[in-house]
Structure 1
Amino acid sequence: MAYSSLLSLSLCFLVVFRGCLAQIEQGSEQLQRRQQQHRFETECRLDSINPQEPTIRLESEAGLTEYWNPNDDQFQCAGVTLVRHNIQRRGLLLPSYSNAPQLIYVVQGTGLHGAAMPGCPETFESESSSQFRGEQRAQQRGRDQHQKVRQIREGDILAMPAGVAHWIYNDGESPLILVALLDTSNPANQLDENARKFYLAGNPHQRQQGGGQRLRDERERERWGRRQSRRGQQQQRGGNIFSGFDEEILADAFNIDSELARRMQNQNDQRGNIVRVEGELRVLSPQRQAREQEERIFGTRDNGLEETICTMRLRHNIADPQRADVYNPRGGRITSLNRLNLPILAYIRLSAERGVLYRNAIMAPHYNLNSHSVIYIIRGNGRLQIVGDYGQNVFDGQVQEGQALTVPQNFAVLKKAGNQGLEWVAFKTCDNAMINPLAGRLSTMRAIPVDVLMNSYRIDREEAKRLKFNREESTLFSSESASRRLD
């Protein structure tokens, strides 16, 4: 009888578990269908692709924010917005959140990054006798509590879910340069295709100016104008989210006086979205040396236990040569970041790739199986060729530092470094993005029988063998004879 009862109970649990699992899978499938439908609604009929530089500048007291034209066809195709921040020494990028998840790459410099995860406790706490970072607070009321603050450096990728407020501070001696991709076609965005920033402080839109390249034609100017007008006059006045609340109700909500509530609204603040910190920013944070030593000893791999929403890692460095996934001492290296080495990417459905090509080296012609790829050139120069589905060449030209361009899903791309070498970061619109090389030891051509190649290209057996086996390298090629043929 006891055995029968236990068996019945086990079956009940099994039924409940399978029901819950089915609901989870159904919800995941619905999200995937919504994402696919959203992407199909975007235009990817690209006859040409050109590397772009920022077109809009937002000047601030302690830095500069630049936007790539979101109405450019290639960014419309990928459903993304690209932004670059240049934060001066002791500059603070004001706390804000967005309607779309984003990946932020640290191009240069060091700093501090704080994210306020909803519902999570303040795990960093000081006592009145404790030291803040940089100096000791003298007053008894110096106690503070806040969520984890991360130290960031060149090569770091920061993953930010939609709606999570965060801030960044430059604590180094050189400018802190960041490039951020916002995935506006992500299911987490329930608004529209426009990337929107909601600031918790400041008056960030007051100093917006046109700059850089002008919009290319009248059609783009009209589209940009319609996009701005839809946001209404409230954005033109600037202001943070508190500036729209009634002053007295705001004071009551925070249990503060009206004067402090008025100052929260920052009505006459002309500093922009990057402000200068007087003195040193005082936050609780482990010393940089201790953090780097822990990374060397323990690494940053997930053990399956600590990855809750409140303890989930938001940062991963992809510039460290020791973390390269593909390496050729004569060609360069490739480092991939996906949901397997940064689990939060499974939630925001994005990934990244960091590439380095040595002088005149080549990355095998390849295509992205399951994602668009938005490439930002970090430094150096090179030549890129992109080919579409009908064999048309949609781009064949030089790229250089500071430019960005999109390689749509399944479009074939070939990269060749110039005399200065070529370094890039590629943001990809899938949490486990994959590429398929078309040449080299691990390529599609290696997987095809010789006779199929003979008949496909109308070549003899020896030519087919050379086509298939002449490249023993995988993904990254040294220059040698191949570089001369490409020039």
Structure 2
Amino acid sequence: MLPGCPETYQSFQQSQEGRQAQRSRDQHQKVRQFRQGDIIALPAGIAHWSYNNGNDQLVLMVVHDTSNDDNQLDQNLRRFFLAGNPQQQQSGSFRRQEHSANNIFQGLDSRILAEAFDVSTETARKLQNENDRRGDIVRVKEGLQMTRPASFEEEEERSERRDNGLEETLCTMRFGENIADSERADIYTARGGRISTLNSHNLPILRDLQLSAERGFLYRNAMVSPHWNINAHSIVYVIRGSGRVQIVGNSNRPAFDGEVRQGQLLIVPQNFVVVKQAGNQGLEWISFKTNDVAKISPLAGRTSVIRAMPEEVLMNAYQISRDEAWRLKYNRQEVTVLSPTSSSRGQEQEQGRASIWSIV
């Protein structure tokens, strides 16, 4: 699932649940087939899944490069799971080498997940797979039914950075760019807020510094979709307002879960999932990221990895119905900044925010 890429495939499913006709049209990113002898190179931080639709056992040889330039963590291998209970299948020797457990949704508050996807709390709890004992490899009872390529394709995708022959000189180079202007926002949601980004594309000097920046503002109770930084660490400084922040690594416990206020600073390591939700006075922050073209991968919203997956994969990964999988994918139409839902506003009136802003 490549962040920001469109869902170019469409699957039609026969529904027995009485849903509207358009709900049977599942859109997802392209599903690629592979066979014996294929070598598949995945960019760092990209979410992916695989399914054996053949007649033989599938054996994969996987090589992880922890010394590449995109890895800004230490040299220890970390795997971040979106579904399942991987620790159920870990042997003793493997556990000593890798300390991952469960999936990253287990580290997030179920109420936060329900708000992020605009689904019920019950569905949000299913994402956490707490009672799922199948490990990280699951058996699909009737097979996945989805649109996929009819034949094997030979593709070669390359991403190379090339100079355009009109490079700036030191004397004429721009050294500054303003990202506080609301009209400059790269992402904007009417009731949610806005985010402006700055990288080496619009300020080339950042290429030498290996830095990029982000400035965001959220209206009351709005949220930034749970996401991870694919190729950078992030330093988050709260400019004004307050809100709740959760940060989850590759274990089932939050690395941070608490209220943040003006003047506070947080460090979000690469690949750690972070979600921000504004308080009653809104929330404004600036982030500095340790890559000149920092990329994020959202978990909820129109450009998320969940939206890019086929319904059949979600149904089997989280043991949910087709209707729940559809709501999980399509209830949120925003891109990254999520506006408050009616259910969250009602919950706030009944319970108050004091019970939510707990610090762990």
TM-score for the superposition, normalised by structure 2: 0.51
Change in Cα spacing, 1:482 to 1:349, as seen in structure 2 (3 Å) is farther
Name the counterpart of 2:330.
Answer: 469
- Give the aligned partner of residue 19 of structure 2: none
Residues 304 and 382 from structure 1, CA distance in 2 versus in 1: closer, same or farther, beyond 3 angstroms?
farther
Please, which of 74, 95, 106 is the counterpart of residue 40 of structure 1? 74
| C-alpha distance in structure 1 between counterparts of 2:199 and 2:254, whole Å | 29
Q: Distance in 2 between matches of 1:370 and 1:38?
A: 7
Deviations 1:86-143 (A, max 9, x none): xxxxxxxxxxxxxxxxxxxxxxxxxxxxxxxxxxxxxxxxxxxxxxxxxxxxxxxxxx
2:302 to 437, 441, 456: 441
Question: Does the CA-based 8 Å contact 1:388-1:394 persist in structure 2?
Answer: yes
Per the alignment, residue 383 of structure 1 pairs with 244
Is the CA contact (8 Å cut-off) linking 2:71 and 2:231 kept in structure 1?
no
The correspondence of residues 311-460 of structure 1 with structure 2, limited to 5 A, is 311-460=172-321
Q: Where does 1:164-313 land on structure 2 (aligned, <5 Å)?
A: 305=166, 307-313=168-174
Confirm or deny: 8 A CA contact 1:438 1:445 kept in the other structure: yes
Aligned-pair CA distance for 1:392: 2.0
Tell me, in whole angstroms, the C-alpha distance in 1 between the residues paired with 2:68 and 2:309: 36
The verdict on how the C-alpha distance between 1:37 and 1:401 changes in structure 2, with shifts beyond 3 A counting, is: closer
Contact 1:361 1:483 (8 Å CA) reproduced: no
Compared CA separation, residues 305 and 400, structure 1 to 2 (3 A) = same
| Contact 2:199–2:294 (8 Å) recurs in 1 | yes
SS state at 1:339 partner: coil
Q: Quote the Cα distance in structure 2 between the aligned partners of 1:38 and 1:453.
A: 30
Query: Residues 359 and 442 of structure 1: is their aligned pair in 2 closer, same or farther, counting only changes over 3 Å?
Result: same
Structure 2 SS opposite 1:316 = coil
How far does the alpha carbon of each residue in 1:384-443 deviate from its partner, in whole angstroms, 9 at most, with x for none?
A: 011111232111100000000111101001110001100000000000001111001111
d(CA) in 2 for partners of 1:378, 1:451: 43
Q: How many angstroms apart in 1 are the aligned matches of 2:72 and 2:226?
A: 29
2:165, 2:204 → 1: CA distance?
A: 10
Q: Which runs of 4+ in 1 moved over 2 A?
A: 32-42, 303-306, 480-487
Residue 40 of structure 1: SS of its match in structure 2?
coil
Aligned residue for 1:383, secondary structure, equals strand
How far the C-alpha of 1:481 sits from its partner, in A, is 3.6
1:336–1:353 CA contact under 8 A, matched in 2: yes
Q: Name the CA distance, whole Å, in 1 between partners of 2:327 and 2:220.
A: 25
Whether contact under 8 Å (2:236, 2:285) holds in the other structure is yes
Q: CA RMSD in A?
A: 2.5
**Cα deviation digits, residues 307-352 of structure 1 (max 9, x gap):** 2122211110010111110001110000010000000011110000
SS class of match (2:225):
strand
Between the aligned partners of 2:173 and 2:239, the Cα distance in structure 1 is 28
Name the count of aligned residue pairs: 197
Give the letter for the 2:341 counterpart: E
- Structure 2 distance, partners of 1:445, 1:474, is 12
SS of match in other structure, 2:177 = strand
- Cα distance, 1:34 vs structure 2: 8.9
Secondary structure of the corresponding residue to residue 465 of structure 1: helix
Alpha-carbon separation, structure 2, partners of 1:356 and 1:362: 10
Question: Contact conserved, 2:245 with 2:259, CA < 8 A, in 1?
Answer: yes
Report the CA distance between 1:480 and its aligned residue. Answer: 2.2
Q: Is the 2:67–2:75 contact (alpha carbons within 8 Å) kept by the matching residues of 1?
A: no
Residues 304 and 316 of structure 1, relative CA distance in 2, 3 Å threshold: farther
Distance 1:308 1:357 in 2: 38
Change in 2 beyond 3 A, CA 1:435/1:34: closer
Any unmatched runs of 5+ in structure 1? 1-31, 45-302
Compare 473-482 and 404-413 and name the one that shifted more.
473-482
Say whether the 8 Å CA contact 2:246–2:254 is kept in structure 1. Answer: yes
Measured after TM superposition, the shift of residue 359 of structure 1 is 1.0
TM-score norm. by structure 1 comes to 0.38
Change (3 A) 1:482 1:313: farther
C-alpha spacing 1:458/1:37, structure 2 compared with 1 (3 Å): closer
Structure having greater relative contact order (Cα 8 Å, sep ≥ 6)? 2
| Greater fraction of residues in strand | 1
